[in-house]
Structure 1
Amino acid sequence: MPRPRSLTDDQLVAAALAVVDRDGLAALTMRAVARELGVATMGLYRYVADRSALELLVVDHVFRTVDLELPDSSWEDRIRLLLDRIRVAVARHPAVVPLVLRHRQAAPGSLRLIETMLEALTDGGFTGTERVLAQRTLIGHLLGFLQNEHHAALSGPGTIVMSELSPDDYPLLARTAADARSVPPDEEFRRGLDIVLRGLSSR
């Protein structure tokens, strides 16, 4: 019996992303990825221990596509650019957002991004606990936005329903939801990040 062909991590990731992009995250199984690669399911276990290990490879790949070269500019502008690059990288495969939340602290590519972010914050004068809280606040904005953009977008059905509520019962919610429908995702992310950065800058 011929020995199964060798597979690289890049091939595994490409197959996993093909499955997720086409059929959704729920379809990501060892069997589905093996079928995408044209190998037996059991043969796939020679390369990854289980689905969780496969997910980690996918998340690491997404993070490693982010360009870490930042211009010599203010710490705020470097943070803006870095977080926007992360947002764009994840948006190429929106179904992986839950995996990003689940594995972001284990993926080596994520650790490199965090180190780059901490360098910018350090240049901004953040140290100790202040740096911890600043970094966590920025990550919270990014992850919250990714969830909203891909699972509860302002232009999505939830906002549409809220904008059609009775203004007598929900005057502020109905008006706010109607206003929200006109905000593009890029504007929502960048203006929200500006609010966070202004708060951090005024510490």
Structure 2
Amino acid sequence: MVRARFTTDEVQAAALQIVDRDGLAGLSMRTLAAALGTGAMTLYNYVRDRDQLEELVAEAVIAGVELPATGGDWLGDVRAIATAMWQSVRAHPNAVPLVLTRRTVSPTSYAAAEALVDSLSRGGLDDAALLGAFRAVLSLIMGSAQVELAGPLAGAGRDEKQREVAAQIGALAADRHHRLAALAEVSQRSTAAADFDCALDLLLTGVRASAQALSTSPRQGPAVG
């Protein structure tokens, strides 16, 4: 039996490195084969097509989340895990479109999601609230990444570019849209990290309120015939 020349992890890591360096347009079977020092046809032993290759890149970003140690504070753990997930996505701006559009199908990328669900479940949420909270946190992470990274603001100096855009919006809105202009002024003094922390605060305040309401609501007893 011939031993495989590469592992799937090695192929995955090389593909992510290409995307980080050259963007999605730089990723192809040919460029990946060159990075691995092999022929393009060899790669079809590991991936069936371009779509699966892009799935591997998306999974690499999510699997790369550095999970924090958890403690007794479930809400603090949710915050730490969500922040770690956001930071991992943010570290690979060129891969954000893939993370947003490719559904991960490998258990290797499930550790962060499992940790997030576990922390939320310790808050006493019922099944429906737990699912809603989980999806809301994920939506905030991915939405924040999309707003910041999947567009013209991607790249170095993102906070400075964001301030420039906010200034332009403020100038255009000043005459007729006073509230938007005022908010643009606030945005010029903020950063992506501060914006994410604030949004996560607001979201988790609602999650905590829901958990508290569930813990104090009277439980339905068995019906008496």
TM-score category, normalised to shorter length:
0.7 to 0.9
Give the conservation status (yes or no) of the 8 Å contact 1:122–1:131: yes
* Same amino acid, percent of matched pairs: 32
- Which residue number in structure 2 is paired with residue 184 of structure 1? 191
Partner of 1:128: 127
> In 1, are the aligned partners of 2:96 and 2:146 still within 8 Å (CA)?
yes
1:198 aligns with 2:197: no
Deviation at 1:69, TM superposition (A): 4.9
Taking the TM superposition and a 5 Å limit, the aligned residue runs for 1:4-15 are: 6-15=5-14
Q: Distance in 2 between matches of 1:122 and 1:180?
A: 34
Aligned to 1:60: 59
Distance 1:201 1:87 in 2: 21
Normalised to the residue count of structure 1, the TM-score between the two structures is 0.88
Residue identity matched to 1:11: E
By how many angstroms is 1:103 displaced?
2.8
Q: Which residue of 1 aligns with 2:50?
A: 51
Stretch moving more, 155-164 or 15-24: 155-164
CA contact (8 A) 2:70 2:77 kept: yes
Cα drift, residue 72 of structure 1: 1.2
Of 161, 167, 171, 2:168 maps to 161
Contact 1:70 1:82 in 2 (8 A): no
C-alpha displacement of 1:166: 4.6
Q: Tell me the distance in 1 between the aligned counterparts of 2:45 and 2:98.
A: 22
* Matched residue, 2:32: 33
> Is the Cα contact below 8 Å between 1:59 and 1:107 reproduced in 2?
no
Provide the rounded CA distance (Å) in 1 between the counterparts of 2:71 and 2:17.
37
Quickly say closer, same or farther: Cα 1:93–1:166, change in 2 above 3 A.
closer
Unpaired segments ≥5 residues, structure 1: none
Q: Corresponding residue for 1:100?
A: 99
Unaligned runs of 5+ in 2: 154-158, 211-225
Bigger Cα Rg: 2
Count residues in correspondence.
201
